[in-house]
Amino acid sequence: MLKLINAMPPTNVYVVGAQCTGKTTLVNALECSFEPTPDVSPPAIVKEVARSVLKIHNFTALDITSSPDRCLALQNLILDAQRDAERHALQDDQWIISDRSGLDPIVYARRYIGHGAAEAMMASAAWRELRSRMSTSLIVVCEAGADWLVDDGVRLMPQDRDDWVDFHREFCQVLEQVGLHYEVIPCAIAGIDERTAFVWSRWRAAAQRDNHGPMLEANGCS
C-alpha cells in the first residue's frame, strides 16, 4: 500500500493514451495501492466518461469515422462530460485520479476530423477549465505497442499496430502543443505492480518539485 506522511494537498493524476494501453487497469491499481491517513482522504476516481456518453446519446464507435459532424458532436459531448465529472469529483475538496482527460476527445477530433476541429475545441470554456487543472497535475501517457490489443466491441480500434503507435505519438504531440508536461509509461513495462510504482514515483517527484504535495511511503499493493 502507499502511505502519505506530512501530507499537503495531493497532486491530481490523469492517465491518458491510445486505445487498449492499460489505462483503466492502471487506474484501478492506483486506487488499490493508496492507503489514506487521518489527514488525507483517498482520491476520487473519475471513470472514463466516453462509454456513458456513447450510450446516453446513442452514438457508436463507428460514428467517429463515418461522419465528421457526428464525430465532432460526440467529442464535444465527451469534453463537457469530463468537465462535469471532474467538478463533481472535486466538490468535496478531494483530489482525483482520472481515467482519461479532456485532452482525449480533442486528440480524437484532430485525428478523425482535422486540426481545425481540435483547435475549435481548445477554444472552448470547458477545455480552458480542464487544461488549467491538468497544468498542475501529473499526466501519464500509456505507450502503445504492447501485446494486449483486444477488441472489446465498444471502443474504436486502430487499424493495425502502426496506426496504434501513431495514435500514441499524436497524444504526445497535442500535449506538447498545449504546453502540458507529461510522463510516458513505456509499453515494455508490462507488469501492473511495476506500472503502478512508475506512476507513484513520478507523483512523488511532482509533489516535491511543486512543493504542494505529500511525502510518500510505499509498501506495495495488497
Global pTM reads 0.87
pLDDT tens figures, 75-128: 999 999 999 999 999 998 789 999 999 999 999 999 999 999 999 999 999 999
In a domain, 219, yes or no: no
Summarize the confidence of residues 186-211 as an average pLDDT.
89
- Domain ranges, residue 122: 2-36+50-209
User: What pLDDT does residue 156 have?
Assistant: 59
User: What pLDDT does residue 3 have?
Assistant: 54
| Residue with the larger pLDDT of the pair 34 and 161 | 34
In a domain, 148, yes or no: yes
User: What pLDDT does residue 210 have?
Assistant: 65
CATH number, domain containing residue 122: 3.40.50.300
Instruction: Count structural domains, the chain.
Output: 1
What is the pLDDT confidence band of residue 208, given thresholds at 50, 70 and 90? confident
Summarize the confidence of residues 186-191 as an average pLDDT.
92
In a domain, 45, yes or no: no
In a domain, 21, yes or no: yes
User: Average pLDDT of the chain?
Assistant: 87
In a domain, 41, yes or no: no
DSSP string covering the chain, please? Answer: -EEEES--SPPPEEEEESTTSSHHHHHHHHHHTEE--SS-PPPEEE---HHHHHHHTT--TTHHHH-HHHHHHHHHHHHHHHHHHHHHHTTTS--EEEES-THHHHHHHHHHT-HHHHHHHHTSHHHHHHHHHHTTSEEEEEPS-SS-----SSSPPPSSHHHHHHHHHHHHHHHHHTT---EEE-TT---HHHHHHHHHHHHHHHHHHHT-S-EEEE----
